Amino acid sequence: MTRISVTVDGVGYQDEVEPRLLLVQYLREQLGKTGTVVGCDTSNCGACTVHLDGHSVKSCTVLAVQADGHDVTTIEGIARDGELHPMQQAFHECHALQCGYCTPGMIMQAIDVLNDNPHPSEEEIRLGLEGNLCRCTGYHNIVKAVQQVAGAQAPAEAAVAMPATAGAQVQA
Amino acid sequence: MIPAPFDYVAPTSLADALAALADSGDEVKVLAGGQSLLPILRMRLNAPDRVVDLGRVEELRGITEEGDSIVIGAMTTYAELLASDVVREHAGLLTKAVQEVADPQIRHRGTVGGALVHADPAGDVGAPVLALEAELVITGPAGQRTVPATEFFQDLFETAVGEGELLTAIRVPRHTGWGSHYEKFVRVVHQWSIVAVGATVRVENGLIAEARIGLTNMGSTPLRARAVEDALVGGPATQDSVREACAAAAEGTNPPSDLNGDSDYRRHLATVLSRRAVLAAAGV
Ligand SMILES: Cc1cc2nc3c(=O)[nH]c(=O)nc-3n(C[C@H](O)[C@H](O)[C@H](O)COP(=O)(O)OP(=O)(O)OC[C@H]3O[C@@H](n4cnc5c(N)ncnc54)[C@H](O)[C@@H]3O)c2cc1C
Ligand code: FES
Ligand code: FES
């Protein structure tokens, strides 16, 4: 067992963990933060996305011991004083989810996209979400939700940033 | 799935990391960003007794300028490389290729050194490192040695890094003023390259003065398209001339056949992607 000390959603934790424990298991099984989910076995789907020191990572592809001394933010830690985070609110308003399974990871990655680039183009949003799979929505309303938050961040640019996009698929 | 149990050590210096490797048995694995290793451990394709995590070895991180070279620490993440103006300006092909690796989450964790030692022939970092004629710095119990990229990549998942050794840095000669482009062919975003071509060229008065081209997934290691380079140099940077030169892109390659395409299809792709990469690099 290895002793770790991590901050999760603003609260400090000290725990003994097996080195093989994945960060996502630590969050779900040890801390009971089941908001972060596992969607695949291949590091592809992004459902498990959390922020590690402010940057998005796939928590199924990080060991809990690697998070020792670091700061983790999950979907459970972004609402403030009972108010949804603007990205959560926008997903709700834009109907950016159907079954909701991809949503925790999608929201955490969408926040990361805007942290890096507050005014992304539609293509930049789609590329920023390339590591997050959604089996239901076809992504269209997810992109709209991100555009809504980006628009709200810069009212002056909202008109240009929010065309009724036709959802052109990004070509890799 | 969950990895099999292992011992975990997290040294904070290169010396301690080498010592940890030296006093481990055969079944030891180095952990860098974990973006290839952790999926492998989860699938139990490998079950080491011990994992040596380089994540806390600060001296292996960061990008510095040394004379004619840019020196990239092995533990520099893709995201850190993408944020580097020095790399963008003097080794632009690396920036262009790393932009195409995986997705943002994986680029936050994955390291340049980890990608090179992993040596997946479909990986996007090898071909630019080869094309830019980089040198790889390897450190072991006997000290430090430097090998050219041509000797570093030995086979599928095999490099010059031996047991008990670590890749510590990548030295990339400055290619200041060269244009570059990485053309990656995939069917869906954030997929491994079916084929990709990295080109970096120096154009002088409309003529291609120098050209270096690296091929991804056209054999068991990254390859240089020497025949194309030779055909390009001295010629005009025009559509017709570049198209003609790039017809030789598959010369000397041995591409795999798999569900994404057979080897003849990949040979064809190599010529098309080379033309696109060279034209974009030359600004045509
Ligand atoms: C979903 C997904 C998509 C991906 N898509 C792409 C893609 O499109 N293109 C691409 O190029 N890659 C892709 N990758 C792979 C990614 O680039 C990996 O991050 C990279 O191959 C490994 O880097 P790492 O730092 O994570 O290394 P790790 O996974 O930690 O290590 C990889 C191997 O290298 C060894 N090693 C690492 N560092 C050193 C060192 N300094 N000295 C000696 N040995 C060392 C380890 O022991 C291990 O065997 C993808 C990965 C995933 C999960
Ligand atoms: S569960 Fe982590 S990427 Fe799918
Ligand atoms: S809403 Fe069902 S997977 Fe995205």
Quickly state the pLDDT bin for A56 (edges 50, 70, 90): very high
Position A163 scores a pLDDT of 43
Residue A168 sits at the chain B interface (C-beta within 8 Å): no
Q: Does the CB atom of residue B167 touch ligand 1 within 6 A?
A: yes
Position A153 scores a pLDDT of 77
- Widest CA span in chain A: 55
B79 → chain A, closest CA residue: A55
Statement to judge: residues B40 and B106 lie in one domain = no
Cβ of A55 and B79 within 8 Å?
yes
Statement to judge: residues B67 and B162 lie in one domain = yes
Q: Does the CB atom of residue A96 touch ligand 3 within 6 A?
A: no
The four Cα atoms A113, A117, A119, A123 give a dihedral, to 10 degrees, of: -60
Chain A residues in contact with B188 by the CB 8 A cut-off are: 172
Average pLDDT over residues A48-67: 98
For domain A2-77, give the CATH number: 3.10.20.30
Identify the bridge partners of residue B28 per DSSP, sorted by sequence position: B50
Statement to judge: residues B62 and B169 lie in one domain = yes
Quickly state the pLDDT bin for A160 (edges 50, 70, 90): very low
pLDDT in tens, A66-115: 999 999 999 999 999 999 999 999 999 999 999 999 999 999 999 999 99
CATH number of B16's domain: 3.30.43.10
Residue B34 sits at the chain A interface (C-beta within 8 Å): yes
- Which segment of A168-172, B91-95, B199-203, B237-241 scores lowest on mean pLDDT? A168-172
Q: How far is CA B135 from CA B33, B57, B122, B167, B281, in A?
A: 21, 21, 20, 11, 23
Q: Where in chain A is the domain with CATH 1.10.150.120?
A: 86-161
Nearest Cα of chain A lies from the Cα of B82 at a distance, in angstroms, of 12
Tell the residue nearest (CA) to atom 14 of ligand 1. Answer: B102
**What DSSP designation does A16 have?**
E
Whether residue B29 lies inside any domain: the answer is: yes
* Structural domain A86-161, CATH architecture: Orthogonal Bundle (1.10)
**How many domains would you assign to chain B?**
3
Whether residue B35 lies inside any domain: the answer is: yes
Quickly state the pLDDT bin for A154 (edges 50, 70, 90): low
Statement to judge: residues B150 and B217 lie in one domain = no
Q: Which segments of chain B does DSSP mark as H helices, in order?
A: 14-22, 37-42, 78-82, 85-90, 92-98, 104-109, 112-118, 126-131, 149-152, 226-232, 239-246, 263-282
Statement to judge: residues B159 and B91 lie in one domain = yes
Query: Which range of residues forms the domain containing residue B160?
Result: 58-173
Tell me phi and psi for residue B122, to 5 degrees: -90, 0
Question: Buried b vs exposed e over B206-222: b needs ≥16 C-beta within 10 Å?
Answer: eebeebbbbbbbbbbbb
pLDDT in tens, B21-33: 999 888 999 999 9
pLDDT in tens, B143-195: 999 999 999 999 999 999 999 999 999 999 999 999 999 999 999 887 899 99
Cβ of B51 and A19 within 8 Å?
yes
DSSP letters, B31-97, are ESS-TTHHHHHHTTS---SEEEEGGG-GGG--EEEETTEEEEETT-BHHHHHT-HHHHHHSHHHHHH
Nearest Cα of chain B lies from the Cα of A52 at a distance, in angstroms, of 9
CB nearest to B108's CB, from A22, A56, A130: A56
Q: Does the CB atom of residue A58 touch ligand 2 within 6 A?
A: yes
A124 → chain B, closest CA residue: B104
> From the centroid of its chain, how far is CA B144?
21
Single-letter residue type at A127? L
CATH number of B102's domain: 3.30.465.10
Statement to judge: residues B217 and B253 lie in one domain = yes
Are A42 and B94 in contact by the 8 Å Cβ rule? The answer is no
CB nearest to B34's CB, from A19, A61, A109: A61
Report the mean per-residue pLDDT for chain A: 91
Statement to judge: residues B255 and B225 lie in one domain = yes
Average pLDDT over residues B101-124: 98
Chain A residues in contact with B105 by the CB 8 A cut-off are: 46, 49, 56-58, 109, 112, 131
Statement to judge: residues B139 and B78 lie in one domain = yes
Q: Does the CB atom of residue A102 touch ligand 2 within 6 A?
A: no
Query: C-alpha angle A156/A161/A162, rounded to 5°?
Result: 110
CB nearest to A20's CB, from B2, B104, B105: B2
Q: Does the CB atom of residue A60 touch ligand 2 within 6 A?
A: yes
Residue linked to tokens 């805007």: A114
Statement to judge: residues B27 and B71 lie in one domain = no
What percentage of chain B has pLDDT greater than the value 90?
A: 97
Whether residue B136 lies inside any domain: the answer is: yes
| Of B83 and B1, the one with more pLDDT | B83
Q: Where in chain A is the domain with CATH 3.10.20.30?
A: 2-77
Residue A122 sits at the chain B interface (C-beta within 8 Å): no
Ligand 1 centroid to residue B106 C-alpha, Å:
9
Domain endpoint, select from B173, B201, B235: B173
Average pLDDT over residues A34-57: 97
Whether residue B24 lies inside any domain: the answer is: yes
pLDDT in tens, B219-233: 999 999 999 999 999
Question: Buried b vs exposed e over A75-102: b needs ≥16 C-beta within 10 Å?
Answer: bbbbeeeeeebbbbbbbeebebbeeebb
Statement to judge: residues B138 and B89 lie in one domain = yes
Give the integer Cα–Cα distance in Å for B276 and B284.
10
Whether residue B1 lies inside any domain: the answer is: no
Position B26 scores a pLDDT of 85
